[in-house]
A and B are shown apart, each in its own frame.
Chain A
Amino acid sequence: MADGVAARDGRLISVADRPITGILLPVPIVCFIGNLLTDLAYLGSGGNLLWLNFSTWLNAAGLVFGAIAAVALLIDTIRGRLGWAAFVFLLAAWIVEFINALVHSRDGWTAVAGVGLILSIVGVLLILIGGWLWQSLRHVEVRR
């Protein structure tokens, strides 16, 4: 493959010639990690609802930006040669966090304790792996 890096980047979804997936993808990663931390704060506080409310908004923001990032990554994946690994993990994280949003809409302790916390942990692991795969695949791609 003789294309230069610039040419390959031209296949990435871009705004004013700059690829955007790299700035979109961290948003759900940060939000879902934040959701996990506020879940732990809620449980640690013995039920201070402030933290549960934080969790639900962080989760919601993660889902919104996660959906946008997923679309961008899907387009990049179809156009480029990144492979599907990063996208599949992002999608899996999104599905898990969507279910987590439903669990977190319960009124009180059972919104987090048990299933809610497990889903927050699983969601964070999946999206971290997805982000790491995206970084490393991009890195390999750029070095080639």
Chain B
Amino acid sequence: MKRSILAGAAIALPLAACGDPQKIDLSQQVGPNPVLPAPSEELIAAVGVPNVVGWKQGETPAVPPGFSVQALATGLSSPRAVYPLANGDILVVESQRVGSEPIDRPKDPVRDFIMSIAHGGGGAKETAGASGGPPQRITLIRDADGDGKADLKTVLVDHLNSAFGIALVGSDLYVANTDAIVRYPFTPGQTQITAPPQKVIDLPGGMIDHHWTKSLTASPDGSKLYAGVGSNSNIQERGPEAETNRAAIWEIDPKTAAYRVFASGLRNPNGLTFYPGSNTLWTVVNERDELGPNLVPDYMTSVRDGAFYGWPWSYYGQHVDPRPRPQRPDMVAKAIPPDYALSSHVAALGLAFYTGTSFPAMFRGGAFVGEHGSWNRHELNGYRVVFIRFAGGRPVGKPMNFVAGFIDSKGNARGRPVGVAIDRTGALIVADDVGNTVWRVSYAGGQKPAGTT
């Protein structure tokens, strides 16, 4: 009978003894030509999520020499996106997903629980919203005396539906809820919106809504809106029907509510932003999980009209993913590689180009990327804001760690960066959703914060 145990062990051992088949230097996986090791599907999906401990009094993230960082506003509830206005006010979107995904497999509740730990819940529910539920609002922050600290923190509008992206065009404030884009009349200077929202267009939400953050931006002339609609699954495991018009960037005419898919095959596109002075749309994309700790790199890319970027059938151009079926060689043939890899599982969610002048010259026109941080690898990756230099409208060189220190020496998360933006003084504003803080990074040789006028 011992033999049967040995037979069982003989099957188990080669599976368990996978080791680290994707050993690469992380610096090989950033930039235009990332090293892509072979897929490695581990027996137990690698999970590394930090416990959330928050920021103690006086603690801040780390910034490079010459820069300083301070909390512009604290005591927020899950701030995800920041949107500075021309008058100095800063809009902060505070939101969480509502409800949990339907359970298709025994795996689903296990995954949901792990994700809740990484958001500081430990399975608990957020209750900071107006009606005791999750936060569903936009908060307005005003630094009237220009000391870099919020003097006024007020709820601009509440009762949103897991909002993420916002865009102000003239006096129309567009808000991308998870299931629709709505419009509010808004004049900068206003501290409360009482008018009811007008729906512009429905977006894919629904029962699953796996990637729920709908990023939003307006074209430079304000005539079109662009919305990022993430996939409904990791790699189409909810079936192809659930992915209709998802994993895509939509182009919407807000006047007629006509829309079309502008680009597709983008698993979870966020941080939609036009490159300053151009009509080129850029995005950061969260790539697929469970192919190993060093696959697939998240990326930043300019978005070509009508282009297909691979998801779910392939990644980084035409590297075929073995999991989704039926296979689509016709779609793989169409897939184009993105511009610039950010390394694997960093969860890039925020993108802002440096339009200010107060930082040193090398920063002008470069990109700040908010990396929310990994879960699908043992060694944490991301949990920082990186800077990527641009020349001639294209990224050059390797990313530089710009805002770090979100993970403490014990491996716990004090915060996690999400949205990034540049305020009118040229300072970098960072939303920290589990640290419940909005950070402001300024250059010591640069302008002082200028107060709302």
| A residues near B12, Cβ cutoff 8 Å | 95-96, 99
Given contacts A47-B326, A92-B5, A106-B290, 20 further A-B contacts (CB under 8 A): A47-B324, A47-B325, A56-B107, A60-B106, A89-B4, A95-B8, A95-B12, A99-B15, A103-B15, A103-B43, A105-B45, A106-B323, A107-B236, A107-B290, A108-B236, A108-B237, A108-B324, A109-B323, A109-B324, A126-B4
Q: Is A14 an interface residue (CB 8 A)?
A: no
| B residues near A53, Cβ cutoff 8 Å | 104-105
Interface residues of A (CB under 8 A from B): 46-47, 49, 52-53, 56-57, 60, 84-85, 88-89, 91-92, 95-96, 99, 101-103, 105-111, 115, 118-119, 122, 126
CB interface residues, B 321-344, toward A, < 8 Å: 322-326
Give the 5 A-B CB pairs with smallest separation, nearest first.
Answer: A47-B325, A108-B323, A107-B237, A92-B8, A105-B107
Residue interface bits B1-45, CB-to-A below 8 A is 1, else 0 = 100110110011001000000000000000000000000010111
Which label, helix, strand, loop or mixed, suits the secondary structure of the B interface? Answer: loop
Number of interface residues of B (CB under 8 A): 29
Residue interface bits B209-251, CB-to-A below 8 A is 1, else 0 = 0000000000000000000000001111111000000000000
**20 A-B pairs with C-beta separation under 8 A:** A47-B325, A49-B104, A56-B105, A56-B106, A88-B1, A92-B4, A92-B7, A99-B12, A99-B15, A105-B45, A105-B106, A105-B107, A106-B41, A106-B290, A107-B323, A109-B323, A109-B324, A119-B11, A126-B4, A126-B8
| B residues near A119, Cβ cutoff 8 Å | 11
Task: State the CA gap A101–B15 with chains docked (Å).
Answer: 13
User: B1 to A84, Cβ gap below 8 A?
Assistant: yes
Closest chain-A Cβ to B132's Cβ sits at a distance in Å of 35
User: A99 to B43, Cβ gap below 8 A?
Assistant: yes
| A residues near B104, Cβ cutoff 8 Å | 49, 53
Task: State the CA gap A99–B290 with chains docked (Å).
Answer: 17
Compute the total of residue contacts between A and B using a CB distance below 8 Å: 79
Smallest CB-CB separation from B39: which chain A residue? A110
CB interface residues, B 102-150, toward A, < 8 Å: 104-107
Known: A107-B290, A109-B322. A101 touches B106 (CB 8 A): yes
User: A102 to B43, Cβ gap below 8 A?
Assistant: yes
Task: State the CA gap A47–B323 with chains docked (Å).
Answer: 9
Closest chain-B Cβ to A56's Cβ sits at a distance in Å of 5
Smallest CB-CB separation from B326: which chain A residue? A46
Smallest CB-CB separation from A95: which chain B residue? B8
| A residues near B235, Cβ cutoff 8 Å | 107-108
Task: State the CA gap A89–B8 with chains docked (Å).
Answer: 10
| A residues near B15, Cβ cutoff 8 Å | 99, 103, 115
